[in-house]
Amino acid sequence: MQKTKAPEASVYVLRLELKKPGQPYPGLDVMPQDPAVKFSFGPPARLTVRIVNRQFAVVPATTRQALLALTEEALIARRAELVKKYREHRTSQDAAAFLEQGTLHYLHGCFRAFRDASAGLRVLHGMPVDGNRVRLQAARFPAGAPTLHFRVEQTGAGLQLCAFVKTDEGSTPLESWSRHYFLLAKESTFLVLSTKDYQTLEWLQAVRPEQWAQDGAQLSEQVLDVLDRNYTVDRNGCFEENIIDEEPEHHVQLSELNGRYLVFTPAWRYGGIEVDGVWTPELRRKAGGTEWTIRRRKATEEAFVARLRALHPNFDGQLNGYFYLSFEEAQKKQWFLNAFYKLLEQEVTITGLSMLTHFRCSEYKPVTETELLSAPGDPQVRLRFALQFGKEKVPLPVLQKAIFAGQGIVLLRDGSMGVLPTEWFDTWATLIRHARIEKDVFTVPRWLALTGSSDSAETTVLKPVINPAWWQQWQRWQKGTDILYPVPALVQATLRPYQQKGYEWLQLLLEAGASACLADDMGLGKTLQTITFICRQLEADPGRQHLIVCPASLVYNWKQEWERFAPSVRIGLFTKPEDEAGTAPQVLIATYHSVRGHVERLSETVFATIVLDESHQVKNPAAQITRAVGELKGSYRIAISGTPVMNNTFDLYAQLNFLLPGLFGSREFFRQQYADAIDRRGETDKIEALRRLTAPFLLRRTKSQVATDLPEKTEQVLWCTMKPEQRMAYESIRDKVRANVLMEIEEKGVEQGKMAVLAGITRLKQLCCSAELVRDEDVFTTESIKTQLLLEELTQLVPEHKVLVFSQYSGMLDLLEKALSRERIATLRLDGSTPVAERQELCNRFNDAGAPERVFLLSLKAGNAGLNLMAADYVFLFDIWWNRAVEQQAIDRTHRIGQTRPVFAYRMICTDSIEEKIYQLQQRKATISEELIQAEEGFVKSLTLDDVKFLLD
């Protein structure tokens, strides 16, 4: 780029080399062979203070200052400052990366200043033409800083994230510009991006959104949710929109100010998400791992604020978004007590009572009296209930409101607060939370009699409503080995003892009016237990229909299992209503997708049994699929999942709420009382309380407990040592990732920086797999020590053995497929892009002893659940996964009932790498999941700053 100053005859050209990311910054010099954008002064070749002072003496001071900042002397001085700073602080960051980052930051400021000051200059740009010739033409810096926005588009290859650059002249695709760090160039137009924008583009380049082209949920969570914080992102109808558009629940948060005032802060809960502050038409909030668009109801919120304002004359004129009264005013004529009860009567939730220090506690302990009003066998239990503190009775609606808010305190009419001890709360809160209140009588489902310990007060009160003969059967099932229910004649199979127990457990819960979550370990025959149970119902009433909902990849697996174990039962596949012509099937199999699309049609039928397979699909309570399955009607419900908790305790809520509506109260109550207490604080008493509440309805047996006849399974780590070129590439990228991640954390904090952590770690994990997965980095190698070792292992195993190879990266599967083809090893492949109808065919072919394919390449997510691949006896996990339970599911595709050969599973882990450190962290971090049948906590979400530093060292 050239700046000429008329009337000088000579042309002075400022040349600045903009190198690619990762290369050393050469400073100011002439490099005519490099096609990068250049600014240069010539003659001479370098820009100096002397040249600026001589040639630009008459330009405005701001322009001259912008040029002086780009001189050789200024850049050398800046580098000297950075070197000094690096030595003083002794930062652990790589010196080259530190200098590059500091220089880049300096140059960015220089370019912004030059852009704003260049109006007084004639700016020419050298456009390369044939040979080494350069044609000068006018260049320009449009006024105003450019901004970025994004749009998702559906292409033949899947979802594509497109970036756009917006200026005062309009919006253009980013791909139409060439980018050098923060500088965008097109023809003779130059734009300088903001720091935030060019860091965003660098992050996108590292995180590679294209890897989730076939996985909209991951693309949204890993990329779009992050961009939404700072940019406009048009999802372009490519995603199911998560919108909360409903009337909110009113809340009031009580607090004290300066030890003198009682403060009332209005708030609203939209779909369980709390909102306060100044009204805006829409608000985006993240909850339960999902981004929500909340459409706020202005009239509703304003009406509630007006109601609060009318509670006391002093509130009129208070415009701070909250209302306050002195303690004396609040207690005059029992104003606070009357206002408290008025708000409760208006269905307003009041929180914060337990944090108040000014109001005194009652001297009396709570006294509880109950009277059972229902007869044995009644599906609903009616109970007369009374709670007193001294002579004052607490109205049941008031008590229920306090329990819903998670309060251990109720406000009494004398102005004091009645304290509910922990023991009382644990005993009665479950019943009252589930209750339908009518004055002093509440009604609850009779299955609540199964919760709690056998001698607890609520169990003792409810126990008579279930027939004594059932209790005897229940005790026989728990203690003995007697067969309580014979296997139906429709079933052509012999059940193993623990499968018999599982089938009987399903039947017992049916008779108690409850539903069940069958959470047995992978490979223990959950499908067969469920088929046996449904066959018993078909023998009792052949005319009723049963529904099985499962992921698309398991539809044909279910059909095949029915044909194998109960061939006389009529099975139908539901894809759309018009497919149902002819004789109605006794068992209908539908995908989650078809349920979501045709829930109105399916909800017209009251099914005898509804089964949700891989029920963790409905772990998000507010997702459309969760709401859809909630509309289905069924006399009995079964959830099946080997890992009902994939990431955190909250995963349980939606599944058990589908089975036993109301079991946990509101989702916000469950989050406050259980999920946060367990996942964030590890409170053992909450773990035990939740285990006690769910134990009767959730059955989990592991292979080590019941499948003692299974052949041995050996799990080992296959350590891989990178060769020099791959090691150099790894360390280069690690240093850059570490610098970027720690800078992000320093600017935004650990929580906000988690996405940068995940993106950086993903980059390093990919390089451990193969340098070819990070082709956009200047790594100058294509080495993959893992591929080499895997080929060595497979050449020894094939053809005597069949092998499963799992990877979470489809690009790695591509590379392995090519490598195995070169070695003439026949393979099959299944990943997220494999059509559903073909998946079972691939599994059948692999299990065929005569098939030539000996190696099955599988995507970890697509192939780790529901598939039977017992032909294999060797499993290789090519890359380490965050969640050990997901890895275990993959291994259990072959180590399951019916396997007769020992199974050998190998985790391939590169030594002295991010993979080894993830493995060490997995061993180190004590999870509470086993006590709660949880697969594992969200690994990345649990990382501390020390963990991040450990991983990136």
36-89 per-position pLDDT tens digit: 333 433 334 567 888 778 777 777 788 788 888 878 788 888 888 877 777 766
pLDDT digit string, tens, across residues 806-821:
998 888 999 999 999 8
pLDDT exceeds 90 at position 173: yes
What is the C-alpha to C-alpha distance for residues 277 and 268, in angstroms, rounded to an integer? Answer: 10
Q: Where are the beta strands (DSSP E) in 531-586?
A: 546-550, 571-574
Distance from C-alpha of 512 to C-alpha of 450, rounded to nearest angstrom = 9
Q: Report the distance separating Cα 530 and Cα 300, nearest Å.
A: 47
| Residue 409 · residue 402 · CB < 8 Å | yes
| Other C-beta atoms lying within 10 Å of the C-beta of residue 686 | 20
Residues 889, 818 contacting (CB under 8 angstroms): no
Average pLDDT for 461-488: 85
What average pLDDT does this structure show over 811-832?
90
Q: In what order do the strands lie in the sheet with 189-192?
A: 178-180, 183-186, 189-192
Measured between alpha carbons, how far is 645 from 885 in angstroms, rounded to an integer?
Answer: 10
> What pLDDT is attached to residue 31?
26
As a three-state string, the secondary structure of 126-191 is EEECCCCCEEEEECECCCCCCEEEEEEEEECCEEEEEEEEEECCEEEEHHHCEEECCEEEECCEEE
Annotate 519-531 with b (16+ C-beta within 10 A) or e (fewer). bbbbbbbbbbbbb
Q: What is the mean pLDDT of residues 566-593?
A: 81
Res 943: pLDDT = 66
Residues 216-268: tens digit of each pLDDT: 777 877 788 778 777 888 888 787 667 888 888 888 888 888 888 999 999 99
CA quadruple 932, 938, 941, 943: dihedral sign: positive
Mean pLDDT of the chain, nearest integer: 79
Query: At a CB cut-off of 8 Å and minimum separation 6, what does 895 contact?
Result: 523, 703, 710, 711, 713, 903, 905
pLDDT at 709 over 80: no
Choice between 837 and 626, residue whose per-residue pLDDT is larger? 626
Which of 167, 66, 168 is CA-nearest to residue 107? 66
CA dist 191 and 176 (Å) reads: 13
User: Which one of 107-111, 162-166, 774-778, 791-795 scores highest in mean pLDDT?
Assistant: 162-166
Residue 718, SS3 per DSSP: strand
Specify the pLDDT at position 949: 77
How far is CA 532 from each of CA 505, 518, 525, 649, rounded to the nearest angstrom? 12, 13, 11, 30
Give the tens place of pLDDT for each residue, 911-939: 888 888 888 776 654 443 344 433 333 45
Handedness of CA 859, 864, 865, 869 (dihedral sign): positive
User: How many alpha carbons lie under 13 Å from residue 867 in its C-beta half-sphere?
Assistant: 33
CA distance 729 to 776: 12
What are the structural domain ranges in the chain?
Answer: 2-138, 148-234, 244-355, 366-453, 468-706, 713-952
The secondary structure of the chain in percent helix, strand, coil, rounded to multiples of 5, reads 45, 20, 35
Return the biggest CA–CA distance within the chain: 109
Can you read off the two tokens belonging to residue 692?
């006690």
Q: What does the pLDDT average to over 291-306?
A: 88
Distances in Å between the Cα of 387 and the Cα atoms of 371, 372, 402 are 12, 15, 13
Residue-wise pLDDT tens digits, 843-867: 889 988 888 899 999 887 776 566 7
Checking if the pLDDT of 878 tops 90, the result is yes
**334: pLDDT strictly greater than 80:** no
**468-706 against 713-952: fold identical:** yes
The one-letter code for the residue type at 863 is G
Q: Name the most confidently modeled range: 84-88, 223-227, 577-581, 883-887.
A: 223-227
CATH 3.30.70.3400, domain 713-952, yes or no: no
Q: How confident is residue 12, by pLDDT bands cut at 50, 70 and 90? A: very low
Residue 32: its pLDDT value, please?
A: 27
CATH superfamily, with its number, for domain 468-706: Tandem AAA-ATPase domain (3.40.50.10810)
Query: With contact defined as beta carbons under 8 Å apart, do 639 and 658 qualify?
Result: yes
β-strand 903-910 against 874-877: which pairing, if any? parallel
How far is the C-alpha of 890 from the C-alpha of 216, rounded, in Å?
Answer: 22
Q: Which amino acid is present at 241?
A: E
Rounded CA gap, 432 and 645, in Å? 27
527 vs 408, residue with greater confidence: 527
Query: In this model, does residue 7 exceed pLDDT 50?
Result: no
